[in-house]
Amino acid sequence: MTAATADGGLEEFSIATWNVNSLRVRGEQLLQWLQANSPDVVALQETKVQDPDFPHAEFLAAGYHSVFSGQKTYNGVALLSRHPMTDIVRDIPDFDDPPRRVLAATIGGPSGGIRVVNLYVPNGQAPGSEKFAYKLKWLDALTRWLKREAESHPALVVVGDFNVAPEDRDVHDPAAWIGCVHVSPEERAALERITALGLVDAFRHFEQPEKSFSWWDYRQGAFRRNNGLRIDLILVHQQLLPRLAGCRIDVEPRRVERASDHTPVVALFRPTATSNAAEAAASMKV
């Protein structure tokens, strides 16, 4: 568990993002993962529960504060933190979007606080569809808001299910996915406009194994065959990069019975830079 500085800021800490695809189904698995790994902050997507049904007490008993924004059956996001959370924002400001897809909070003290933005980006269905146009419009609105967030909170970390594979190496078979959602030039350009705000893909900041994915379809033995996509991202503001010590995908939760189709991605931060990325990754506590 992370220590705090005298002014309430965070020293070494870890942030995880996980599309759990229903807390009702995966709640016990999540609690077991929290107990085993003790991350400081966890961003959840597709909680699929309304706010009155969110298991706040269970997470509190496990040592986590929680804030959440849910709706019946679909969508829903939540943040769990071992530290108090302030300055909560639900939804993209000045953008009319009923689905619950966005949740932001500041974690830690006023001078050392980390601003975490949790996203569940729309799927988009297929290029040329109305849902695809909505996705691009949503991403444009997100970019305008994140620009303001980055200006106000340089210690910014944007995490979640982006439903965009940034590069061909994030796709198990790029040729098979040509013309499909998640990999289109329009979506990737929208993601690049977000990273141009000074945000860096934490996973790609380090050397990683080939064929590293965070999502696998339930069908056609996709997980067994490692036919996946890397669409769950942790974007770190460049001012935080000296503290970024490692980032990895935890594949183990995808192996269990009734697993989510996504698996956690975890980033570790330290008070000072770690020169040896391999050593940092090996010592990650989650």
Beta strands in 202-241 (DSSP E): 215-216, 228-229, 232-237
Residue 91 is a catalytic residue: no
Distance CA 61, CA 130 (A): 43
Residue from 236, 247, 244 nearest 275 by CA = 244
Distance CA 42, CA 238 (A): 21
Do residues 65 and 107 make contact, with C-beta atoms less than 8 angstroms apart? no
SS3 assignment, position 239: helix
Residue 120 is a catalytic residue: yes
Catalytic residue among 40, 64, 91, 161: 161
Give the angle 133-19-236 at the CA atoms, nearest 5°.
Answer: 80
The one-letter code for the residue type at 23 is L
Give bridge partners of residue 211 from the DSSP assignment: none
Catalytic residue among 40, 64, 91, 120: 120
Cα–Cα distances (Å) from 268 to 21, 75, 122, 157, 248, in that order, read: 24, 27, 27, 12, 9
Largest CA distance in the chain: 53
Tell me which residues are annotated as active site.
120, 161
